[in-house]
Structure 1
Amino acid sequence: MLCCRMTEPTQEQVDQLTRAFELFTRRFKVAEAAAAADNALNALDAQTLVFIGDNPGCGIGDVARYLNVAMTTMSSAIDRLVRKDLVERGRPEEDRRSAALTATGAGRQAIEDHIAAYREACRMMLRSLDPKEQRELIRLTEKISRSGS
């Protein structure tokens, strides 16, 4: 069985990748901001809404843990989303003290807009590469996303 040996990157490589990722993430932030602007959402609210859309019936604590934010911060985000009629708070029968969060119809549309903008940013980035490079970028990005560090 072949095993690849991990090598420590040079400072120059780290600096190059840092600059590349700054530009890379800026494109995603711009795309995300454009989609969120249509719904007047900040980045936290947009990510909160996407999580709730993917996990209907989840609780505030579930979202806070996933996004790694304080409960008070998450409560404020949920309040904003409820006021904008993007999220509904329900009361589960088994625990009337907790809230079960679900996206409203308008919330689901906002999620679709957010995902469409994100996909368009990916499409734009992939367009700048030839097919072999596209496959390699996807392969490497998936490898990095699966690694624990």
Structure 2
Amino acid sequence: MTSSHSPKFSATSERISNLGDSREHDRDTAEFDESLRQSVQKISIGLYDFLASTRRLGERPNARMDISQSEMEVLHFISTHPGCGVSDIARLRFLRPSNVSATVRRLLDNGLIKRENNAKDRRAQNLYVSEDGQEMLGQLIDHWGDMVYQIVRTMSSKDIRSLIKALPSLLKLAEHSESFVEEHQRRQEPF
């Protein structure tokens, strides 16, 4: 009699044990998710504060070099996405195509970018940074780097090492952000 009930009891006992493990796993997962959410909240506040405090600093060299912030943003985007078009810039930067077109026209007029016909679509044009644009970008990046260097010099060695270690993750965050935006734009979903 015990032999016929023993396997059932054993199987049931194992299921109950696994159920307990499953609940514990779910609780651990929920705690991890909440902890991650709180950490990401802190990261997002830190990134926002950093961007807000440094955005105006970034505009200063632009004004000195006679390029607007929007022109700089589009120029930089084209440098990191060679062959892109106006619609790509507008979509991935949440800008109106008409505003991007106007900015692209100014960059073309100033010789900072060049355009080539798209081989697959005669109506489309691919945008590239010109030699003058590369020189302008280099000057702006050097100046921006000098400003950030002055800021970083006020930090502790430990914090500086932490920033250096975080750089690959920050670059990945930028890459994933762009993919996230592109996917939402493609689906036409609100954030």
Shared fold per TM-score greater than 0.5: yes
Residue 28 of structure 1 contacts residue 121 of structure 1 at CA under 8 Å; is this kept in 2?
no
Larger proportion of helix: 2
Rounded to whole Å, the distance in 2 between the matches of 1:119 and 1:28 is 12
* AA matched with 1:45: E
The Cα offsets for residues 59-88 of structure 1, whole Å up to 9 and x where unpaired, read as 111111221101111111101111111111
The TM-score, its normalising length taken from structure 2, stands at 0.60
| Superposition deviation, residue 49 in structure 1 | 0.1
% identical aligned pairs: 20
1:55 counterpart = 2:84: no
Partner SS for 1:129: coil
Q: How many residues align?
A: 140
Runs of 4+ in 1 over 6 A off after TM superposition: none
Tell me which of 111, 114, 126 is aligned to 2:137: 111
Note the 1:91-110 alignment, pairs <5 A. 91-110=117-136
Which residue number corresponds to residue 64 of structure 1? 90
What's the Cα RMSD here?
A: 3.2
The answer to whether residue 78 in structure 2 is matched with residue 78 in structure 1 is: no
Larger Cα Rg: Structure 1 or Structure 2?
A: 2
Specify the SS of the correspondent of 1:90.
strand
1:85-133 superposed Cα distances (whole Å, 9 cap, x missing partner): 1111211222111011111111111111222222223212211111112
User: Structure 2 vs 1, CA of residues 79 and 139 (structure 1 numbering), >3 Å: closer, same or farther?
Assistant: same
Structure 2: runs of 5 or more not aligned: 1-27, 178-191
Larger relative CO (CA 8 A, sep 6+): 1 or 2?
1
